[in-house]
Amino acid sequence: MIRKKDLIKIEKELTILIKERLLTEFKNNKGKPVDQVDNIALLKTELDEENENRDKIIVASVYANARLFIRFMDDDSTSSENTQVKNNIPIEFSYNSDTDEFDIVINDVKFYENKLF
């Protein structure tokens, strides 16, 4: 059973991680890089309850809507775009007894556009 404060922290950490990865690695469907992330709304998180324990929480899937500003390569202009993203691998959180919180375990997770067709 996950405590409410742990769930809030995990959602906050996921939002930060998604923003960071979108800014550094994500390109839209035309290959243009992200200049700015305006908003991220977590839609759904699915936990891997079979493989978690009291010291580890695994988020199997994360779905999020993101409002992005895409940079054009030929000039300094940007365009806004809404997209839905999903992670490619599970994200693990481990329990830190010093802070009584779960901390994200850094991995090579990437977020890609979740096409709904």
pLDDT, one tens digit per residue, over 15-63 is 999 999 999 999 988 888 899 999 999 999 999 989 888 899 999 999 9
Domain range summary for the chain, segments of one domain joined by + = 4-107
Residue of 59, 64, 21, 20 lying closest to 41 (CA atoms): 64
| Cα 21 to Cα 100: distance, rounded to the nearest angstrom | 27
Categorise residue 94: left if φ over 0, alpha if ψ from -120 to 50, beta otherwise: beta
- Work out the mean pLDDT of the chain and round it to a whole number: 92
Report the pLDDT value the prediction gives residue 116, as an integer from 0 to 100: 64
Global pTM reads 0.90
